[in-house]
Structure 1
């Protein structure tokens, strides 16, 4: 069978048809199902919609479609050249099973690939549904178990301790110089950029402006968030999470130094790794390369990894 890549317009077309059925007395609920509702799955380009109905005869007469061979309680409609299969469900259990099948495959990439492989070898005729019935039944069983235990997997405690920090690259666009601090910390020496900690209850941007002012005497505005840096501190997953900003909007008089160390303007091009404090060379790439927006240091890493 010829399967095609996901088309975002399928969702729009499904919504439009469901809207036409909205508030009809023969309809209790509807949902877009099947492979056209699975963005990561190759699809047969027939839009499937599950309809929960109180009366099968009333629904069938109202829809004015054609029965689908070998598919009980399924009606085909063609709207503006797009075929639809409408699956009529008299009980909520059957209706929910169709929805669960969709949600399970959307959440499980390996089984969704298997679903594609199974269908690719099937004929595009009336025997298509019977041929994939065993696979569908297996997925329905998996979906039932997945939903039964889903809350246990998704609601376990994921709380970790996070220390929020920040750093700012202040650029003079006329000279291509940046503000640097020459750290005097014995454990972390070299040139770095203004930054610090976010106080409890403080916004990230407010903390960045405050830290810059306290350390450099400059007032900064128009802060642009360019990336993040994360250090995983221990096996429990506790982290230091940093937000990285750039700006060319500054005012005030630059201090000669602060408790952090001497402060000066330096040409951006002169900031070679040997002059920078440990890991700052990697952070500079996040600041200056638009294709890099994260630096990450795992619990077992020996350096920052960029992505």
Structure 2
């Protein structure tokens, strides 16, 4: 086994995007039903990175597919990641976008809506959505890491 292979690990690459209308202080939230999603509840839209596309291209594509909005200049604001029981690593590349065009429309991935930013804590949020949002908006934080599972969830660290 080569030195490179011993240091590599299989990864699942995804993205998520906080889309904010700065004039109205509203953000796009997507509701994922518990019947169809392990990570259910309200969360920011996003999806998987496809082979051959950049992270930025993937978030632009996913946001359009899931919301009908075309985002411009998405800003990388952090990484969320954790080890899987299979030995793989799950990586979520976190973006924020304040420039967009189009009209909001839901998809088979979930219902999307504009929500006042200060009302987000009152929603039925997906697991750890609030601390993830706080990390995404903190200028001195850039990584949200789940070290391992505990009886009541995950042991998380924010760097």
TM-score over 0.5 for the alignment? yes
- Structure 1 residue runs without a partner (length 5+): 1-151
Of 249, 253, 260, the match for 2:103:
253
Unaligned runs of 5+ in 2: none
Does structure 1 conserve the Cα–Cα contact (< 8 Å) formed by 2:42 and 2:123? Answer: no
1:247: how far off? 1.0
CA contact (8 A) 2:145 2:157 kept: yes
Taking the aligned partners of 2:60 and 2:86, their CA distance within structure 1 comes to: 33
Matches within 5 A, 1:178-217: 178-186=27-35, 187-217=38-68
- For 1:203 and 1:281, locate their aligned partners in 2 and report how far apart those are by CA, in whole Å: 27
| Cα deviation digits, residues 34-80 of structure 1 (max 9, x gap) | xxxxxxxxxxxxxxxxxxxxxxxxxxxxxxxxxxxxxxxxxxxxxxx
Check the 8 A contact 1:191/1:275 in 2, yes or no: yes
Cα distance in 2 for residues equivalent to 1:156 and 1:259: 38
Aligned counterpart in structure 1 of residue 7 of structure 2, from 141, 158, 167: 158
Partner residue in 2 for 1:305: 157
The CA deviation at 1:273 is 6.7
**Which residue matches 1:276?**
125
Shift, 1:274, TM fit: 5.6
Q: Are the structure 2 counterparts of residues 220 and 251 from structure 1 closer, same or farther at C-alpha, using a change threshold of 3 Å? A: same
RMSD: 1.9
Q: 1:169 to 1:155 in 2, by over 3 A?
A: closer
Aligned to 2:89: 239
Q: Output aligned runs, 1:112-151, within 5 Å.
A: none
CA deviations over 1:249-269 (Å, ceiling 9, x no partner): 0000110x2112211000111
Q: Structure 2 residue aligned with 1:265, among 96, 114, 128?
A: 114
**Residue 167 (structure 1) shift:** 0.3
Q: Give the strand-richer structure, 1 or 2.
A: 2
- On the 8 A contact 2:149/2:155 being kept in 1, the answer is no
Question: Which of the numbers 208, 222, 227 marks the counterpart of 2:78?
Answer: 227
Q: 1:169-184 to 2 correspondence within 5 Å?
A: 169-184=18-33
- Which is higher, the Rg of structure 1 or of structure 2? 1
CA distance 1:234–1:268, change in 2 (3 Å): same
Q: Which residue of 2 aligns with 1:112?
A: none
Relative contact order: is structure 1 or structure 2 higher (C-alpha 8 Å, sep ≥ 6)? 2
Structure 2-normalised TM-score? 0.88
| Residues in 2 aligned to 1:298 and 1:248: alpha-carbon distance in whole angstroms | 31
Q: TM-score, normalised by structure 1?
A: 0.47
Distance 1:156 1:170 in 2: 38
